[in-house]
């Protein structure tokens, strides 16, 4: 970050819950949007976190207890907890303690942002 003094860089038609930006092949991403999306992607770009994400998202009721997640990996509990925190900090999941256990669920809006980003244009700009 060399303190680039760009004046505009409006964050597309973001409404804090919708798709942040146009599909990647529609128009160049602004510097700000790219930074914002990179945070989301960096959180998802790990094999363990990807599996955690899909285990949580595909679990019955849309949520999963940490106790269900830990056993599927050859990692210590602190490491799993760390990965969950990365996902939570990025805004991809949300956690809630209910009694003894902590349950996590996916935040669909965040996943939608990524889905919309990589959605190909239906019309391939001729050729």
Partner DNA sequence: CTATGATTTAGATGAACATCGAACCAATAG
Partner DNA sequence: CTATTGGTTCGATGTTCATCTAAATCATAG
- Tell me which of 86, 87, 106, 117 binds DNA, using CB under 7 A: 86
Q: 114-122: list long-range contacts, CB under 8 Å, 24+ apart.
A: 114/37, 114/40, 114/41, 114/44, 115/19, 116/19, 116/20, 116/21, 116/23, 117/19, 117/20, 117/21, 117/23, 117/24, 117/37, 118/23, 118/24, 119/23, 120/23, 120/25, 121/23, 121/25, 121/26
- Tell me which of 21, 52, 53, 84 binds DNA, using CB under 7 A: 84
Instruction: Choose one: 8-16, 76-84, 96-104, 113-121; the region binding a second copy (CB under 8 A).
Output: 113-121
Provide the binding-site residues for a second copy, judged by CB under 8 A: 2, 4, 24-29, 31, 34-35, 37-38, 41-42, 44-48, 50-51, 53-55, 57-58, 60-62, 72, 74, 106, 108, 111-112, 114-115, 117-120, 124-127
């Amino acid at each position: 970050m060399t303190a680039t003094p760009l004046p505009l860089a409006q964050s597309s038609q973001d409404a804090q819950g919708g798709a942040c930006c146009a599909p990647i092949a529609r128009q160049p991403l602004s510097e700000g949007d790219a930074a914002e999306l990179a945070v989301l992607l960096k959180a998802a770009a790990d094999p363990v976190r990807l599996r955690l994400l899909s285990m949580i998202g595909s679990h019955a009721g849309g949520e999963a207890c940490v106790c269900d997640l830990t056993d599927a990996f050859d990692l210590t509990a602190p490491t799993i907890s760390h990965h969950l925190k990365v996902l939570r900090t990025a805004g991809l999941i949300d956690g809630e303690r209910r009694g003894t256990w902590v349950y996590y669920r996916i935040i669909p809006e965040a996943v939608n942002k990524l889905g919309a980003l990589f959605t190909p244009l239906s019309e391939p700009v001729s050729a």
